[in-house]
Amino acid sequence: MTQKSSKKRTPDVIDVVVKKSLSELPDEEVRDEIILEDAKEQENHPKPEEDSEGQAKWDPVSTALTPTTTLSRYLAEVRRYPFLSKEEELQLFHEYQTLGTRESAVKLILANLRVCVSIASEYGLAGIDQMDLIQEGNVGLLQAMKKFDPTKNVRFYAYAAWWVRAFVLRYLLNNFRLVKIGTTQEQRRLFYNLRREKAKLERQGYVPDPKLLADRLNVRERDVVEMDQRLGSWELSLDQPMTSEGEGTFHDLLPSTQAPIDDQLADTQLRLLFRKKLAEFAQTLSEREEDILRNRLLSESPVTLEDLGRKYMITKERTRQLEAKIIKKLRELMKKDIQDFEHLRK
């Protein structure tokens, strides 16, 4: 039984190469070296055999170690698809963007699924299921397919890494807590960088106090304190029992949002008194003034001054003066007969 050549790139080696290329992505010289190195490796990498229809035949998944979890089965499936060379990549994108060939898009996606796995593994300690992070990264990979421009002379996996990471970070931000915490740009910056910056300052021998962290991250000091408290604590259910016997819940400790019952009763009586005095006041007015009071001051859809003036054959200004006179008389009456009239206005 012959052994396979040791020069063949294993899936683990490919994952390391991808991770290295992603971490050094902003450096154009390093990126070019990685692309050249990858092209040389692809020349030595055996191509999959093709069937009679020209479709690639992939080697079956090894059954030496049977996957036992959904994640391990997914990783085993992903490793079946090798990376594409630059020439193959450009050819598939030409077919996808000009001819709309679905098979070309599928090959491009399958060949770059390990980019999502590599980036999602960096956030494995965030308390989120690894498969959820990978699938969210796959959505970012699909978005990168729509936005990629092959004429920019950049490998697709290098470009897609930015979209994958953006979708993974957005998913973490939206699901890190039941109550969303990244509602502003400053909060998002703190969410992504606060712990990393604290660890960096500690390695340098500094005490990561809120003021120093705020200066480093260009945010307010109180935002640093608030985000540090949020990241260091977890949500607490208000329905959780306060004792082991199950007596009482934390919801019982919250202050009531309703006004005290005596205040509610006093407010109700005050409003009833106001309505009674208002009815008595309306009886002291002339027919024209009562019409202005009911249809102009007390109506939910008040009549305009112009319509009232036309009805009583007076000018618009005269109608406004009558309205102001009624309001003044009503205010004086209420202040005289209702002691808490100002409280009612609030």
CB 337 within 8 A of CB 277: yes
Cβ neighbours of residue 214 under 8 Å, at least 6 residues apart?
Answer: 220, 221, 223, 224
Position 236 scores a pLDDT of 65
Q: What average pLDDT does the segment 287-298 reach?
A: 88
CB 333 within 8 A of CB 277: yes
Residue position matching structure tokens 């309505």? 275
The answer, yes or no, to whether residue 325 has pLDDT greater than 60, is yes
Tokens representing 316 are 């618009």
- Which amino acid appears at position 341 of this protein? F
Half-sphere exposure of 284 (CA within 13 A, CB side): 9
For the segment 248-258, what is each residue's pLDDT rounded down to a tens digit? 787 777 777 77
Residue % of the chain over a pLDDT of 70 = 71
Q: CA separation (Å) from 27 to 4, 20, 22, 41, 196?
A: 35, 12, 10, 21, 22
* CA–CA separation, 212 and 194 (whole Å): 11
The answer, yes or no, to whether residue 42 has pLDDT greater than 60, is no
* CA–CA separation, 341 and 195 (whole Å): 56
Q: Mean pLDDT, the chain, as a whole number?
A: 75
* CA–CA separation, 241 and 254 (whole Å): 14
Helix ranges, the chain (H): 11-23, 28-44, 70-78, 86-94, 102-111, 113-121, 130-147, 156-175, 185-203, 210-217, 221-231, 261-283, 287-292, 305-311, 316-337, 341-345
For the segment 301-323, what is each residue's pLDDT rounded down to a tens digit? 888 999 988 988 999 999 999 99
* CA–CA separation, 151 and 153 (whole Å): 5
Query: CA-based Rg of the chain, rounded to a whole angstrom?
Result: 36
Predicted TM-score (pTM) of the model is: 0.45
What secondary structure letter does DSSP report for 69? S
Position 249 scores a pLDDT of 80
* One-letter-per-residue 3-state SS of 238-304: CCCECCCCCCCEHHHHCCCCCCCHHHHHHHHHHHHHHHHHHHHHHHCCCHHHHHHHHHHHCCCCCCC
What secondary structure letter does DSSP report for 26? T
Position 126 scores a pLDDT of 61
* CA–CA separation, 45 and 181 (whole Å): 47
Position 321 scores a pLDDT of 92
* CA–CA separation, 324 and 275 (whole Å): 20
Question: Residue 153's pLDDT band (boundaries 50, 70, 90)?
Answer: confident
Phi then psi dihedrals of residue 25, to 5 deg: -60, -40
Position 92 scores a pLDDT of 92
For the segment 210-221, what is each residue's pLDDT rounded down to a tens digit? 888 888 887 788
Give the bridge partners for 241, in sequence order.
Answer: 249
The answer, yes or no, to whether residue 181 has pLDDT greater than 80, is no
For the segment 91-105, what is each residue's pLDDT rounded down to a tens digit? 999 899 888 888 999
**239-247: long-range contacts at Cβ-Cβ below 8 A with a sequence spacing of 24 or more?**
none
Position 108 scores a pLDDT of 92
Position 182 scores a pLDDT of 56
For the segment 189-241, what is each residue's pLDDT rounded down to a tens digit? 777 677 778 888 888 888 888 888 888 887 788 778 777 766 665 556 677 77
Position 111 scores a pLDDT of 92
CB 322 within 8 A of CB 257: no
What secondary structure letter does DSSP report for 178? S
Position 262 scores a pLDDT of 80
